[in-house]
């Protein structure tokens, strides 16, 4: 049997540390090697225990989690899952952590909440995180995070400096990378061209681990004149609203968390709410979305397969472009195969640019992928695809 994933829990709450330790220790493929109440103690535990994954609280004494994450990604880049409160502020900070290099987020447990209720989800996130590829995040000038830490954070700069600034010299930190954030080195946005489409045209996107930043990179490069877009990102309830709002503030497209009955229309991207499956339904004037709290699929709700298969059932495949991006597991692969078999053009993100090459790999293995693209190429392809289908319509009128 493979070695268990070694986890270090960093949280100032003794209750949370105990809840997480008890929950994770029930899985034989995970070993909680230690815990720490603040980043300074965590620094010593990292050097001593060499964990594979860290769970990290954001609000902590001595140094907040975001500052620690910046330093960590410079001196000792490694997979981090952020534990964040289910509040507007907590969700915004969690998304900032993802931008800085964290691979996933999880709701912060409390005394009235048993983390065991969500044990499967937490364990899957940790196992996915252990397989991710991390690299030093860089700002728009190409400067490492260490150099971009503000003067007020100087006391924490060397918290993980164990004698070398070369992450590859640290054990267990080789062959690692993360796709660049949509906020850094973002390619120039494609211009609107006033394109028009049949009401049946739709773009479907599915992603999981690493997907929030991959989706951000794609959507921020796109113009507004696109067919309606439906997005399923594996993300906990409440965080999805903050994710959609952040995208809306950055994109030419309107982006919002989906509500029951929302119309799928050009210029709008709908994000499935955490905790709800999103399905397409046809009405005489176009597609609308339905939300369901049916059983999780692949341990996920929302699930990419549910969206993709609903598109097949309503006859949307021949008018759809489907994209599957970075993520652990096989969610979306079976649905993408059905879309492909029924006439959809299907795209998978390539291994080199994935944080976890799981979902795209499974879709490729099933034979359901028309084209494999690097993350940096996906926005350009979507824009070109939109031009091709718009021209076909415009030539008919």
Q: What is the CATH number of the domain that holds 319?
A: 3.40.50.180
Residues 254 and 101: their CA atoms lie apart, in Å, by 26
356 is a domain residue:
yes
Average pLDDT in the 106-125 region?
68
Place 89 in a pLDDT band, splitting at 50, 70 and 90.
confident
pLDDT of residue 35 exceeding 60, the answer is yes
What range does the domain containing 232 cover? 202-394
**How much is the pTM?**
0.84
Residue range 132-143: average pLDDT? 53
Residues 236 and 360 in one domain: yes
Q: Do 298 and 362 belong together in one domain? A: yes
User: Which of the pair, 257 or 192, is modelled with greater confidence?
Assistant: 257
141-145: Cβ within 8 A, 24+ apart: 144/74, 145/70, 145/71, 145/73, 145/74, 145/100, 145/101
Residues 308, 218 within the same domain = yes
Domain count, the chain: 2
The torsion angles phi and psi of 202, rounded to 5 degrees, stand at -150, 150
Whether residue 302 is preceded by a cis peptide bond, meaning omega within 30 degrees of 0, is yes
- 229 and 357 belong to one structural domain: yes
User: Does residue 185 form part of some domain?
Assistant: no
Residues 158 and 224 in one domain: no
Residues marked active site are found at: 208, 234, 331
Q: Does residue 226 share a domain with residue 126?
A: no
CA 11/CA 245 separation, integer angstroms: 27
380 and 256 belong to one structural domain: yes
């Amino acid at each position: 049997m493979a070695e268990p994933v070694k986890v270090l829990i960093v949280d100032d709450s003794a209750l949370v540390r105990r809840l997480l330790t008890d929950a994770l220790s029930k899985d034989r493929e995970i070993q909680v090697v230690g815990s720490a109440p603040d980043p300074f103690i965590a620094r010593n535990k990292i050097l001593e225990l060499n964990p594979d994954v860290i769970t990290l609280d954001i609000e902590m004494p001595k140094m907040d989690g975001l500052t620690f994450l910046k330093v960590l990604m410079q001196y000792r880049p490694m997979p981090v899952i952020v534990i964040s409160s289910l509040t507007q502020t907590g969700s915004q900070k969690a998304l900032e952590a993802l931008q800085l290099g964290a691979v996933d987020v999880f709701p912060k447990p409390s005394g009235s909440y048993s983390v065991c209720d969500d044990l499967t989800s937490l364990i899957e996130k940790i196992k996915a995180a252990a397989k991710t590829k991390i690299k030093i995040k860089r700002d728009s000038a190409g400067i490492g995070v260490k150099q971009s830490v503000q003067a007020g954070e100087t006391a924490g700069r060397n918290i993980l400096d164990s004698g070398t600034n070369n992450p590859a010299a640290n054990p267990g930190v080789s062959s690692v990378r993360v796709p660049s954030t949509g906020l850094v080195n973002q390619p120039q946005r494609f211009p609107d061209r006033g394109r028009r489409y049949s009401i049946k045209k739709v773009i479907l996107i599915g992603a999981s681990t690493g997907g929030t930043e991959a989706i951000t990179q794609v959507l921020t490069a796109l113009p507004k004149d696109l067919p309606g877009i439906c997005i399923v990102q594996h993300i906990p309830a409440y965080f999805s609203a903050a994710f959609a709002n952040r995208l809306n503030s950055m994109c030419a497209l309107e982006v919002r968390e989906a509500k029951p009955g929302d119309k799928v229309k050009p210029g709008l991207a709908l994000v499935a709410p955490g905790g709800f499956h999103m399905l397409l339904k046809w009405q005489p004037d176009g597609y609308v979305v339905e939300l369901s709290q049916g059983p999780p699929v692949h341990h996920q709700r929302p699930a990419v397969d549910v969206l993709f298969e609903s598109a097949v059932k309503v006859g949307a495949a021949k008018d759809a472009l489907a994209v599957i991006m970075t993520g652990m597991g096989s969610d979306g692969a079976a649905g993408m195969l059905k879309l492909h078999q029924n006439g959809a053009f299907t795209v998978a993100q390539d291994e080199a640019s994935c944080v976890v090459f799981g979902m795209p790999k499974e879709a490729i293995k099933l034979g359901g992928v028309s084209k494999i693209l690097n993350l940096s190429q996906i926005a350009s392809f979507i824009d070109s695809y939109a031009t091709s289908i718009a021209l076909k319509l415009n030539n008919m009128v």
